[in-house]
Amino acid sequence: MLNFKVLTKIQSVALVAVIVFASIGGVAIYVLLGGQEPSSETIKIGILADIDEYWGKRTWQSAVLAAEHVNAEGGILGRQIEVIAADSVSGVGTDVAEVTLALAKLISNDQVDFIIGGALSGDSIFACQEVIAEQKKIFFCGPTDDEFTQRVLDDYDKYKYYFNFQLNASSIFRGMTTYLLFCREMTGFNKVGYLGLDTDFAKGIMEGLDHFLPDNGFDLVYKGAYPMGTVDFSSYFAAAESAGVEIMVPLIISGAVPVVKEYHDRQSPLVIYDGILAEIGNPESWVITDGKCNYVTVSVNAVTAGYPLTNKTLPAREAYIDRWGEYPAGLVVYDICRFILPDAIERAGTIETDAVIEALEETNIETSGSRNFAFTKSHSRMISEDPNDPDADYSPYTLFQWQNGEQVPVYPKKIMEKARATYIYPPWPGPWD
């Protein structure tokens, strides 16, 4: 796999050159235009994701649903939205050349106006940043290392086209530290361990925990990192239990289902209080895990869990379920296509790139996941000054615990109290006895 930190200028130029010589064949194309034939008068949004994969599929479906809603209301500046997906491989270990070819297809052949990226590896994001800088295309991407949004600050004129619509590593870490402090206050537990996928993204958070936990009086008694493809987590839990872990912080980007099944089957004497536990926040997780995610606390969007965080949360959730027959795994892509981008274009009065960038930088709008969605100067998603306060501006962190098939809010404290919810412990022996 390429290392984006050591890509040479020549390699970057070669990646950009793919745009010019991209083949028309070899990439699956899917088009939606509100029942109408595509035309040059549409506003084209390209989706760069593996739409056969879990997250890529939901990225596509969210964009399609948003386009249908916007088009039904007359479009943007009187123009309909057209959504085009250039299917690519998704996730950690993504082949950079394949992703770049898919991006080339969107830009050169489909002539999209804006691009939304799915779950991409760091190397692929680096390559995409080089391409969009050359082609001057606005590119929205999901959770990434801070290094990518830092590039916006370091060389604004080149990288201003990049926007991160999810939380970057430092934002995730900030939220994680606040709810770990709350967990200690709530449970009285102080011995912490973490287990995460062996990637640069997770390692950055691990390194932060190595400093934060001791500095704030926690006992960091276990550090675990597992390779991609791991399905047996028995040895990791055995080591954590031997070390006396009371609070396990998962950084599980891949492998969440076998992790929670192992936790349940061995009746591990600790609580899983989520850092990152991909896949387990979705309502389908109860069935997928045979109910073994019970008692696990998960960081999940309010729209996924069905909590009415904003006036738009439940309507967006219900519309997604009605359209696709399944629950949404967050609706930030829907928010981008339905609220954020249309709002910016309307205020700019044009789809001209620089004008839309300026409008995006001034965004402050209610979405399904934020009372006031805004971008920072580095074009990352703004979070609340007090992540523990659900009534604060911007995006709060929300945690839900699986309790007998339901997702019950247990953080922030105000949400838990408002829902009259209670954090509960597993019925097997543990430090809670």
Q: Residue 38, preceding bond cis, omega within 30 degrees?
A: no
3-state per-residue secondary structure call for 226-295: ECCCCCCCHHHHHHHHHHCCCEEEEEECCCHHHHHHHHHHCCCCCEEECCEECCCCCCCHHHHCCCCCCC
CA 210 to chain centre: 24
Q: Which two tokens stand for residue 263?
A: 């936790």
Q: How many CB atoms lie within 10 A of CB 326?
A: 14
pTM: 0.81
Burial class (CB within 10 angstroms; exposed 0-12, middle 13-18, buried 19+) of 39 = exposed
Per-run averaged pLDDT (10 residues), the chain, 433 residues = 41 46 41 45 92 84 97 96 77 69 90 88 84 94 79 95 82 82 95 91 86 96 93 97 97 88 98 85 89 93 88 96 91 95 98 97 93 90 64 69 94 86 96 96
The DSSP string of 378-403 is TSPBPB-SSTT-TTSSSB---EEEEE
Structure tokens of 385? 């000054």
Position 288 scores a pLDDT of 92
| Residues 81 and 62 sit within 8 Å (Cβ to Cβ) | no
**pLDDT (0 to 100) of residue 88:** 55
C-alpha span between 288 and 35 (Å, rounded): 35
Question: Contact 267/376 with Cβ under 8 angstroms?
Answer: no
**Angle at CA 177, nearest 5°, toward 192 and 274?**
65
Dig out the tokens for 264 from the structure.
């349940």
Is residue 102 within 8 A of residue 87, CB to CB? The reply is yes
Domain annotation for the chain: domains and CATH numbers:
9-141+332-361 (3.40.50.2300), 170-306+393-418 (3.40.50.2300)
Residue type, 70: V
Backbone torsions φ then ψ of 228, nearest 5 degrees: -55, 140
pLDDT at 47: 93
Helix, strand and coil content of the chain, in percent to the nearest 5, comes to 40, 20, 40
What pLDDT digit, counting tens, does each position of 179-236 carry? Answer: 899 999 999 999 999 999 888 778 888 999 999 999 999 999 999 999 988 999 999 9
Rounded Cα distance, 340 and 344, in Å:
6
Whether residue 295 contacts residue 248, with contact meaning beta carbons closer than 8 Å, is answered with no
Q: Is 296 helix (H, G, I), strand (E, B) or coil?
A: coil
